């Protein structure tokens, strides 16, 4: 969005009041739709809430020569600068969102704007002009920009603030930097340059450690890999854990429907407040309901919720500018509401170089002029960004501020964030855009955030795969090796080790409306019990791994062999599974499976088994149940039985070849 739209947005916006307001003023208000109370209102003409003149043509003629008065909010140099860098943020978000149509997007553009603004100190006139136009500095007093930025940084990311932002310019190995650039960068932006050492692992570790330090340990890993051929790398990271002015009752948090699109609905953890007080408005042109909730430290969260379930929010996105959001903020009215919104833990990590190459900054990657920084020709090569945002029930107080007066409507507003939405976090004092996100699925980032706490996250990159019945993960190592992990959702039965699961672990399909009983936790506890008694060279897991890795076909599964091994471990002493008798134990596994196939019966290990270790807790009905036959399908389907026998014979031949010839 260019400077022309930037200026035009200041004067007007598209907000229209909806139906139903009660009050003694003649001024029209933006209200939620309430067909019970008043006749249809007329649209607002301008965002200050004044009524349109009766004769609009006369009014237009009378006002044609008038100069629009500047909003007092923008008389402060800091607020003007904040509006400029925030408009860069809205532009960057639009560009990234258009490249990521079917996944969540979360940006904290302020961290990247800070790095870019600092980079402009080292640019020659031509390149400085390119950066200034991208950051909308061409509308400001350029001579004051860098000194004012220092004040903006103190206001938004001071030491006492919960918002933790990190910006850095990382340069290629052994680049000589002119001292004037270095000193001015540190003076205005409190930013220190970092030159690479040439040791990839050490450089990666140093950058990650620096981000960890700047975010007070909240972002443990900023980059997975160190990019090659770095000339200039811009790094921007931000973390924020919001604290609401009024907390949500954790007892009211529950799993509720979230509509991914018109065809798909999932359950997410939803916070609720039936007596919420929030600021609300309805935009009829954008077809969205807007709600604003206050956070501590002078930050507000603004939700843009389409009236229809859709993942395409381009119409709303194209309207976003600093001035539009500021005008919306002035128009929203305080109301009572029945509120529900998802708990969020959003974790977004992205290399944004390709995105910025499609903007007016494209020349920074090809033929820039950074002669004020270094005599050596250099260019922007990489842009790395990471944003982490948490919004949970945490709040400052249990009840709303008694000084807040909400409009009295016949019924409270219903505001349920149960579909894809846009989220804007903004500093109320300066108007600075802190975070902006498109949330299509609140669940996926919860997994990504949790993964970062795992030790293995240093060695594997994570990709969450689409799934309606479980959580499917694709883990890829640096060498390209790929692992597939599937996590099932479950609800514990009392204090037992049996869960109701969204999918049977035995790979038995169940309809979406049914939850099967899962003994996965009980089985894991059984293997832990065995591990405590087993010899150091026990081969029970090696037997299981060898059999499952040699499987071919579709009838015999890894769960089949897991069940067989568990039965044998529960029959023979655990100490008998030593390395010296590995071949014998493997033969026992195959003999046991052959006898089960001949009988067409393999009993489930947990259900109906009263001979389990005492630390495995089962409902009494589960222990006394009739044993579940995992081979029941072979009894009912002769074709499947013949196929199972063939798979068994093929597996036995493969194992024999491995043991005899190692191939």
Q: What is the CATH number of the domain that holds 36?
A: 3.30.497.10
Question: How high is the pLDDT of residue 45?
Answer: 32
Average pLDDT value for residue range 429-444: 93
Q: Is the pLDDT of residue 8 over 60?
A: no
Percent of the chain with pLDDT over 90: 60
Question: How high is the pLDDT of residue 410?
Answer: 52
Are 563 and 416 contained in the same domain?
no
* Cα–Cα separations (whole angstroms), residue 277 to 15, 102, 129, 285: 21, 32, 46, 25
Q: Is the pLDDT of residue 635 over 80?
A: yes
Q: Residue 453 carries which DSSP code?
A: T
Which CATH number goes with the domain that contains 589?
A: 1.10.1410.40
Question: How high is the pLDDT of residue 509?
Answer: 45
Give the CA angle between residues 514, 251, 426 to the nearest 5°.
Answer: 105
Are 576 and 438 contained in the same domain?
no
Are 423 and 274 contained in the same domain?
yes
Task: For 590-617, write each residue's pLDDT tens digit.
Answer: 999 999 999 999 999 999 898 899 999 9
| Dist CA 402 CA 339 (whole Å) | 19
What pLDDT band is residue 192 in, cutting at 50, 70 and 90? confident
Average pLDDT value for residue range 239-252: 95
Give domain status of residue 436, yes or no: yes
What pLDDT band is residue 284 in, cutting at 50, 70 and 90? very high
Give the residue with greater pLDDT, 397 vs 96: 96
Are 207 and 351 contained in the same domain?
yes
Among 58-72, 582-596, 643-657, where is mean pLDDT lowest? 58-72
Are 197 and 292 contained in the same domain?
yes
Question: How high is the pLDDT of residue 663?
Answer: 52
Are 586 and 448 contained in the same domain?
no
- The residue among 434, 453, 472 that closes a domain is 453
Question: How high is the pLDDT of residue 360?
Answer: 92
Range with the largest mean pLDDT of 111-120, 452-461, 534-543? 111-120
Percent of the chain with pLDDT over 70: 83
Q: Is the pLDDT of residue 152 over 90?
A: yes
Q: Where are the beta strands (DSSP E) in 83-186?
A: 105-107, 164-171
Give the residue with greater pLDDT, 66 vs 180: 180
- The residue among 410, 429, 453 that closes a domain is 453
For residue 604, which of 533, 531, 517 has the smallest C-alpha distance? 517
What pLDDT band is residue 514 in, cutting at 50, 70 and 90? low
Average pLDDT value for residue range 194-198: 92
- The residue among 412, 437, 453 that closes a domain is 453
Give domain status of residue 504, yes or no: no
Give the residue with greater pLDDT, 629 vs 58: 629
Average pLDDT value for residue range 550-564: 85
Give domain status of residue 209, yes or no: yes
Mean predicted lDDT score pLDDT of the chain: 84
CB 348 within 8 A of CB 107: yes
Give the residue with greater pLDDT, 458 vs 602: 602
Question: How high is the pLDDT of residue 503?
Answer: 61
Are 270 and 406 contained in the same domain?
yes
Domain interval for residue 571: 530-661
HEC profile for 59-74?
A: HHHHHCCCCCCCCHHH
Average pLDDT value for residue range 302-331: 95
Question: How high is the pLDDT of residue 468?
Answer: 65
* Cα–Cα separations (whole angstroms), residue 410 to 37, 115, 275: 7, 50, 14
Give domain status of residue 476, yes or no: no
Question: How high is the pLDDT of residue 504?
Answer: 54
Domain total of the chain: 2
Question: How high is the pLDDT of residue 48?
Answer: 36
Give domain status of residue 522, yes or no: no
> What phi and psi, each to the nearest 5 degrees, are found at residue 407?
-65, 140
| Dist CA 416 CA 635 (whole Å) | 50
What pLDDT band is residue 385 in, cutting at 50, 70 and 90? very high
Q: Is the pLDDT of residue 516 over 90?
A: no
Are 556 and 655 contained in the same domain?
yes
Are 12 and 135 contained in the same domain?
yes
Q: Write the CB contacts of 634 (distance below 8 Å, at least 6 apart in sequence).
A: 555, 597, 600, 640, 641, 644
Q: Is the pLDDT of residue 31 over 80?
A: no
Task: For 79-89, write each residue's pLDDT tens digit.
Answer: 999 999 999 99
Q: What is the CA radius of gyration of the chain?
A: 31
Calculated CA dihedral for residues 427, 433, 435, 439, nearest 10 degrees = 110
Average pLDDT value for residue range 334-359: 94
Average pLDDT value for residue range 482-507: 77
Q: Write the CB contacts of 646 (distance below 8 Å, at least 6 apart in sequence).
A: 553
What distance separates the 2 farthest-apart alpha carbons in the chain?
101
Give domain status of residue 554, yes or no: yes
Give domain status of residue 470, yes or no: no
Give domain status of residue 519, yes or no: no
């Amino acid at each position: 969005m260019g400077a022309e739209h930037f200026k035009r947005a200041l004067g007007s916006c598209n907000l229209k009041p909806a139906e139903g307001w009660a009050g003694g003023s003649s001024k029209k208000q933006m209200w939620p739709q309430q067909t019970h109370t008043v006749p249809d209102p007329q649209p607002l003409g301008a965002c200050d809430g004044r009524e349109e003149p009766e004769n609009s043509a006369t009014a237009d003629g009378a006002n044609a020569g008038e100069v629009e008065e500047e909003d007092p909010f923008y008389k402060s140099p800091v607020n003007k600068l904040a509006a400029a860098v925030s408009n860069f943020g809205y532009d960057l978000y639009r560009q990234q969102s258009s490249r990521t149509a079917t996944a969540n997007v979360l940006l904290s553009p302020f961290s990247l704007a800070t790095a870019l603004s600092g980079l402009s100190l080292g640019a020659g006139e031509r390149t400085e002009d390119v950066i200034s136009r991208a950051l909308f500095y061409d509308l400001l007093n350029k001579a004051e920009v860098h000194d004012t930025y220092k004040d903006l940084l103190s206001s938004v990311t001071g030491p006492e603030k919960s918002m933790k932002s990190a910006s850095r310019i990382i340069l290629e190995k052994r680049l000589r930097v002119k001292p004037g650039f270095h000193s001015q960068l540190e003076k205005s932006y409190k930013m220190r340059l970092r030159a690479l050492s040439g040791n990839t692992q050490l450089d990666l570790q140093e950058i990650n450690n620096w981000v960890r330090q700047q975010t007070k340990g909240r972002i443990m890993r900023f980059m997975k890999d160190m990019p090659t051929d770095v000339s200039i790398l811009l790094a921007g990271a931000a973390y924020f854990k919001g604290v609401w002015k009024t907390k949500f009752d954790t007892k009211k948090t529950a799993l509720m429907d979230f509509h991914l699109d018109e065809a798909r609905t999932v359950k997410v953890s939803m916070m609720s407040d039936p007596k919420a007080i929030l600021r609300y408005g309805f935009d009829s042109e954008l077809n969205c309901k807007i709600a604003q909730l206050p956070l501590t430290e002078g930050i507000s969260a603004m939700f843009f919720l389409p009236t229809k379930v859709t993942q395409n929010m381009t119409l709303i996105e194209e309207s976003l500018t600093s001035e539009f959001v500021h005008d919306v903020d002035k128009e929203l009215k305080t109301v009572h509401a029945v509120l529900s919104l998802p708990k969020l833990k959003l974790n977004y990590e992205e290399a944004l170089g390709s995105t910025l190459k499609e903007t007016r900054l494209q020349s920074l990657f090809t033929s820039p002029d950074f002669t004020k920084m270094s005599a050596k020709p250099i260019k922007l090569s990489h842009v790395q960004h990471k944003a982490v945002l948490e919004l949970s029930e945490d709040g400052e107080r249990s009840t709303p501020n008694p000084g807040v007066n909400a409009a009295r409507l016949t019924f409270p507003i219903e505001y349920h964030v149960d579909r894809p939405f846009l989220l804007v976090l903004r500093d109320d004092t300066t108007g600075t855009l802190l975070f902006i996100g498109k949330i299509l699925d609140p669940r996926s980032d919860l997994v990504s955030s949790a993964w970062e706490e795992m030790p293995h996250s240093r060695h594997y990159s994570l990709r969450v795969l689409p799934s309606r019945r479980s959580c499917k993960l694709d883990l890829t190592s640096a060498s390209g090796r790929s692992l597939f992990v599937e996590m099932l959702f479950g609800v514990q039965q009392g204090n037992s080790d049996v869960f109701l699961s969204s999918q049977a672990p035995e790979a038995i399909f169940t309809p979406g409306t049914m939850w099967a009983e899962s003994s996965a936790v009980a089985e894991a506890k059984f293997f832990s019990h065995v591990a405590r008694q087993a010899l150091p060279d026990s081969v029970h897991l090696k037997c299981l791994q060898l059999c499952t890795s040699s499987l071919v076909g579709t009838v015999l599964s890894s769960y089949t062999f897991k069940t067989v091994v568990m039965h044998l471990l529960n029959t023979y002493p655990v100490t008998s599974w030593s390395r010296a008798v590995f071949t014998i134990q493997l033969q026992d596994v195959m003999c046991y499976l052959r006898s089960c196939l001949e009988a067409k019966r393999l009993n489930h290990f947990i259900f109906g088994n009263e001979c389990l270790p005492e630390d495995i807790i089962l409902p009494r009905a589960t222990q006394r149940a009739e044993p579940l036959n995992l081979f029941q399908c072979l009894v009912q389907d002769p074709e499947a039985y013949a196929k199972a026998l063939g798979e068994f014979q093929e597996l036995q031949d493969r194992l024999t070849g491995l043991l005899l010839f190692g191939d």
